[in-house]
Amino acid sequence: MGNPPVRQRGTSASVHLRNAANAGEAGPCCPRRRGQSPLSLIIWMCRAAWRCARKQEPGGGMVLAVCDVQIERKHEEINMFRKIFPSAGGQPRTLIGALAASAAIVLGAFNGMAAAQETHRFAIANDLSGPSSYHGKTFAAGFNTYLHEVNDAGGVNGKKVELLQENAARDVQKELGFLRKFAQQDNALAAMMVTTDGLFAAKPLMESIKLPLMGVGVPELASNPPTPWVFNIFASYQDTVFAAIDYVFNTIGDKDPKIGVVYPDVQFGLEALRATELRMQKYGKPVAAKVVMNLRETDATTQMLTLKQAGVKYVIVQLAGAHIAAILRDAAKVGLDVTVFGTTQTMDREPDLILSQPGGQNLAKNFIGVGPWAKWNETSVPGIIAMRAAVKKYEKIEDAKLGDVMYSNFVQGYVNAMVLVEALRKAGPNPTGEKLRDAMNQLRNFDTKGITPPISFGPDRRKGFSAVKLYRINTERKVYEPIGGWVTVN
């Protein structure tokens, strides 16, 4: 699957022309007179575009070439065209050609405006260029697959639905800047972002941005305590940690387990540390070891030695698939016999990363993954069957290659789109961010056909569900397979 198209930062002249057209209808800054000739209309459009550009974005865009022209006086309007098109040289014949070019821009602006009016837009401050950009790319791919289905069926209220992407490259400040852009310039109805740190930073800003916000990361603190604009569609990282510890005590039956936690020292990792401490308090037991492994580390020998010295038998890992492979490999290297419970993102890659390690078949037996959505290979799940059919239709691939497309956060993106489109349908023919938020509040037991448990929201409920599945690795098929059904975390 190719990389999703990325719209670059900055606002083009055509965007300012569209803004001018919108302003002209409203009339507050650039009132339009009825009965204007085509030439007067072109002049009016350029004047209005300049004013919109001057208000919104000083210092950028073709139309700003007229900044030194005193366009407040009618007789200087032609000079404005000379500034925009220096090659015209003031000659009438050439000026006509320049005006024709302007007319083309204006007509393009009107066409763009019409297209925008015919499209519902969601937006994501994505990571499309970093070493872990596969998270954002697969999320967007799943999201767009569902939008393909929706648009082929006629869209929502007769309008197509699209996903706008900007590359924030996991930079929190860029993510926040794009959120403002989505609301103020792009007329987006809901926004998404990749990083947990960004989600926390955005949470207090959303009352002014006024868009429903979701994350590729699913920290508990995004939805608890609840705030009006931030939603967790899926069970949180905390839920996966709770489920893993419950499994040790209640299913394995170890009543005095030595449980450790490995995490990066960022908000994403601290979520798992807090959750491990909280759940062990429930059982009246201490956390045996708390070990930091940063996101860029590829060797876990030091961390595994620390766990071994603490006598750890089970470890909760809040990292990614590549780290899990290193942890299992290096645990075996130092002689640590430990069961590794990986939270949501540890299954972001297929098990081949683990199976390709020396002794990978045996290493895989020590891994249990915990996640809040079904895997692409669960062909007994009706929603997964439909998703697989859509991928084969739009990507033109066979069953054997589906794992190359539907791994990591693909399923998450697909479900995220399902929820937003359902809310969009409920928001009515003229949706806004606020109407979409209110529509999400009305979702009750939304059925994803088994991809997740039923999803519900409300004014004081900002997490769609709190159930997870536990997975083992099938070493012959090289896929994750569920141990059982959905486990609800209390």
Helix (H) or strand (E) holding 209: helix 206-209
Residues 208 and 266 in one domain: no
Distance CA(443)–CA(66), nearest Å, equals 50
Q: Is residue 141 part of a domain?
A: yes
The pLDDT assigned to 448 comes to: 99
Residues 341 and 482 in one domain: yes
List the domain range (segments joined by +) for residue 453: 120-234+380-459
Residues 147 and 45 in one domain: no
- Residue count of the chain: 490
| Max CA distance (Å), the chain | 91
Distance CA(44)–CA(30), nearest Å, equals 8
The pLDDT assigned to 117 comes to: 52
Distance CA(328)–CA(237), nearest Å, equals 21
Parallel, antiparallel, or unpaired for β 367-371 and 467-474? antiparallel
Q: Is residue 8 part of a domain?
A: no
Domain end call among 66, 87, 116: 116
Domain end call among 82, 116, 150: 116
What does pTM read for this prediction?
A: 0.78
Kindly give the confidence (pLDDT) of every residue in the chain, 490 residues in length, as a single tens digit, with 9 standing for 90 and above: 444 444 444 444 344 434 444 444 343 344 444 444 545 555 545 555 445 444 443 333 333 333 333 333 333 433 433 333 333 334 444 444 444 444 444 444 444 444 445 899 999 999 999 889 999 999 999 999 999 999 999 999 999 999 999 999 999 999 999 999 999 999 999 999 999 999 999 999 999 999 999 999 999 999 999 999 999 999 999 999 999 999 999 999 999 999 999 999 999 999 999 999 999 999 999 999 999 999 999 999 999 999 999 999 999 999 999 999 999 999 999 999 999 999 999 999 899 999 999 999 999 999 999 999 999 999 999 999 999 999 999 999 999 999 999 999 999 999 999 999 999 999 999 999 999 999 999 999 999 999 999 999 999 999 999 999 999 999 999 999 999 999 999 8
Residues 260 and 366 in one domain: yes
Residues 33 and 66 in one domain: yes
What are 391's two structure tokens? 């991928």
CATH of the domain at 261: 3.40.50.2300
Residues 111 and 130 in one domain: no
The pLDDT assigned to 118 comes to: 80
Residues 332 and 416 in one domain: no
Residues 254 and 226 in one domain: no
Distance CA(185)–CA(8), nearest Å, equals 13
Rg (CA), the chain: 27
Q: Which residues contact 195 (CB under 8 A, 6 or more apart)?
A: 127, 170, 172, 175, 215, 217, 268
Distance CA(38)–CA(198), nearest Å, equals 48
Q: Is residue 36 part of a domain?
A: yes
Q: Which residues contact 430 (CB under 8 A, 6 or more apart)?
A: none
Residues 331 and 479 in one domain: yes
* Number of domains forming the structure of the chain: 3
Least Cα distance to 46 among 85, 95, 102, 116 occurs for 102
Distance CA(196)–CA(344), nearest Å, equals 13
Domain end call among 92, 116, 140: 116
Least Cα distance to 408 among 480, 474, 467, 335 occurs for 480
Distance CA(433)–CA(15), nearest Å, equals 21
Q: Is residue 4 part of a domain?
A: no
Count CB-CB contacts under 10 A for residue 336: 22
Q: Is residue 393 part of a domain?
A: yes
Residues 366 and 409 in one domain: no
Q: Is residue 7 part of a domain?
A: no
Residues 124 and 108 in one domain: no
Q: Is residue 484 part of a domain?
A: yes
The pLDDT assigned to 30 comes to: 43
The pLDDT assigned to 21 comes to: 41
Residues 41 and 127 in one domain: no
Q: Is residue 218 part of a domain?
A: yes
Distance CA(53)–CA(396), nearest Å, equals 43
